[in-house]
């Protein structure tokens, strides 16, 4: 006749199950922490690159009004045409106002960094109205990219930084609907590790037209994607 498990055997099984669950949870935490660290590291690396460009060329990438004189070339091998990118998508030059202040100057900034040899990646301009003319860096494995932003008005005014002039923003690759990338819970985790953990202050700000992101001066503790994060760029 078969006998059942003893209390000692059941206890051992429960301990093993607990250890397995604990290990899985710890592993998930470590994975998320690594992803957050990568985001924060990229932010600082891009900040350094922007300042290297400014130190060398006396202008911000993307905003550089003399970029064509520096890089020249055609759309396939160089900077594009000798006009403002704000009036022609294939134009090379910014407006020189000290801000990377719209989508055109934003994607052009990545191209300027590549042409200057500061950032690796394709230097070819490819007209594509849905994704811009330049391949922008990926921010994560959730389908988001890095974009430049600055203080401004218009449709995206609520997503612009308040406490600094120029910033980086994590922006959905699709670019459709609300411009949001992360939940309130995940946004707080990033902000707390890299700054002050508050959406309206410091160097990292949580932006959204959606009430799911934050309430007052705090991020909401939910898993609903409703926040877009901006990362202040300190420029020399």
| Full pLDDT tens readout for the chain, 236 residues | 456 667 776 777 777 777 777 666 666 666 788 899 999 999 999 999 999 999 999 999 999 999 998 988 766 667 878 888 777 777 888 999 888 877 788 888 998 999 999 998 878 777 654 445 777 888 888 888 898 887 655 455 556 677 788 888 887 766 555 567 888 999 999 999 999 999 999 999 988 766 788 888 999 988 888 888 889 998 87
On the CB side of 140, how many CA atoms lie within 13 Å of its CA?
A: 22
pLDDT at 3: 61
What CA–CA distance (Å, rounded) separates 36 from 42? 10
**Rounded-to-10 torsion of CA 195, 196, 200, 204:** 10
The answer to whether residues 107 and 94 touch, using CB atoms and an 8 Å cutoff, is: no
Phi, psi (degrees; rounded to nearest 5) at 170: -90, 120
Q: Per the structure block, which two tokens stand in for 204?
A: 């990292």
| CA pair distance 233, 236, nearest whole angstrom | 10
Read off the pTM.
0.81
How long, in residues, is the chain? Answer: 236
CB 178 within 8 A of CB 208: yes
Of the candidates 94, 76, 61, 179, which has an alpha carbon nearest to the alpha carbon of residue 133? 76
119-128 in b/e form (b: 16+ CB < 10 A) is beeebebeee
| pLDDT score at 82 | 83
Burial class (CB within 10 angstroms; exposed 0-12, middle 13-18, buried 19+) of 142: middle
Distance from first CA to last CA of the chain, Å, rounded?
A: 82
């Amino acid at each position: 006749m078969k006998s059942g498990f003893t209390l000692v055997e059941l206890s051992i099984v429960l301990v093993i199950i607990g250890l397995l669950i604990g290990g899985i949870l710890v592993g998930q935490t470590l994975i998320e922490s690594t992803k957050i660290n990568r985001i924060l590291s990229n932010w600082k690396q891009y900040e350094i690159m922007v300042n290297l460009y400014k130190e060398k060329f006396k202008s911000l990438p993307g905003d550089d009004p003399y970029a064509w004189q520096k890089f020249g070339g055609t759309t396939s091998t160089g900077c594009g045409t000798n006009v403002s990118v704000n009036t022609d998508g294939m134009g090379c030059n910014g407006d020189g106002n000290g801000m990377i202040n719209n989508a055109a100057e934003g994607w052009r900034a990545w191209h300027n960094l590549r042409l200057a040899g500061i950032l690796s990646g394709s230097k070819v301009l490819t007209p594509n109205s849905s994704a811009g003319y330049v391949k922008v860096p990926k921010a994560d494995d959730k389908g988001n990219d890095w974009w430049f932003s600055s203080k401004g008005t218009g449709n995206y005014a609520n997503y612009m930084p308040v406490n600094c002039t120029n910033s980086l923003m994590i922006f959905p690759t699709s670019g459709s609907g609300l411009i949001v990338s992360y939940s309130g819970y995940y946004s707080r985790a990033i902000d707390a590790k890299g700054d002050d953990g508050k959406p309206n202050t410091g160097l990292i700000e949580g932006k959204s037209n959606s009430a799911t992101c934050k309430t007052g001066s705090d991020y909401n503790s939910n898993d609903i994607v409703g926040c877009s994060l901006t990362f202040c760029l300190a420029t020399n």
